[in-house]
């Protein structure tokens, strides 16, 4: 195994341990010693990968954001109808949100402006990718142009975010497909 691969595995183990610790307790209750012990490394090793607890938290929170942004761009470039691209996009976003729902909750727990700002910087990648796809729908005359891209983005992503919360806490079992079709019925150009 290459040295780089070993480093990546160690970093991944630390992020996994951090996720377990941060999801079990509030941000201010989590100790780097506990993360190191769970990851099977010394506390000093954490500092080889992360500056401090805040940096570790941010890196854990944004893990996967770049990959999701790239996936959104891939979907936008697919040679299929816009409706099919939209459904593929919506399903991918729903899965991403579901996997990240704990992160969204944790982000709200921490009052650190540094953490919030770093997270929002990464989040902008996702927003740009999503809005690019929506703009393509408008340009292709598949989506209505009497709403702004921001309005359409909000009316799509908001319900997907809220769905995750309602399904988790109310056990509502709201289906992704029904939300996507609801959005489509309101936002699609009628031919």
Q: What is the pTM of this model?
A: 0.76
Of 62, 67, 66, which Cα lies nearest the Cα of 106?
Answer: 62
C-alpha–C-alpha distance, residues 157 and 183, integer Å: 10
CATH number, domain containing residue 73 = 1.10.357.10
C-alpha–C-alpha distance, residues 36 and 14, integer Å: 7
The predicted-structure confidence for 45-62, as pLDDT tens digits, reads as follows 999 999 999 889 888 877
**3-state SS class at 170:** coil
* 58 inside domain: no
Q: What angle do CA 74, 77, 81 make, to 5 degrees?
A: 120
Reported confidence tier of residue 84, pLDDT bands at 50, 70, 90 = very high
Reported confidence tier of residue 15, pLDDT bands at 50, 70, 90 = very high
pLDDT value, residue 117: 80
**3-state SS class at 143:** strand
The predicted-structure confidence for 109-167, as pLDDT tens digits, reads as follows 666 777 778 777 878 888 999 999 999 999 999 999 999 999 999 999 999 888 877 87
* 22 inside domain: yes
- Number of domains comprising the chain: 2
Interhelix angle 3-24/53-62, rounded to 10 degrees, is 100
* 59 inside domain: no
**Proportion of the chain above pLDDT 90, given as a percent:** 51
Same domain, 83 and 140: yes
Of 176, 190, 171, 11, which Cα lies nearest the Cα of 90?
Answer: 176
């Amino acid at each position: 195994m290459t040295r780089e691969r070993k480093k990546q595995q160690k970093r991944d183990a630390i992020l996994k341990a951090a996720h377990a610790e941060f999801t079990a307790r509030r941000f201010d209750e989590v100790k780097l010693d506990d993360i190191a012990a769970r990851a099977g490394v010394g506390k000093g090793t954490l500092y080889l990968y992360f500056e401090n607890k805040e940096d570790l938290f941010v890196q854990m929170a944004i893990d996967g954001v770049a990959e999701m942004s790239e996936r959104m761009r891939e979907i936008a470039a697919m040679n299929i109808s816009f409706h099919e691209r939209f459904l593929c996009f919506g399903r991918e976003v729903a899965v991403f949100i579901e996997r990240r729902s704990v992160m969204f909750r944790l982000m709200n727990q921490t009052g650190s402006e540094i953490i919030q700002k770093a997270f929002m910087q990464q989040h902008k990648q996702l927003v740009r990718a999503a809005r690019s796809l929506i703009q393509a729908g408008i340009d292709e005359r598949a989506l209505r142009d009497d709403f702004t891209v921001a309005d359409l983005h909000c009316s799509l992503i908001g319900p997907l975010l809220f769905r995750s919360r309602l399904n988790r806490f109310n056990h509502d079992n709201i289906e992704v497909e029904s939300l996507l079709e609801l959005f489509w019925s309101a936002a699609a150009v009628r031919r």
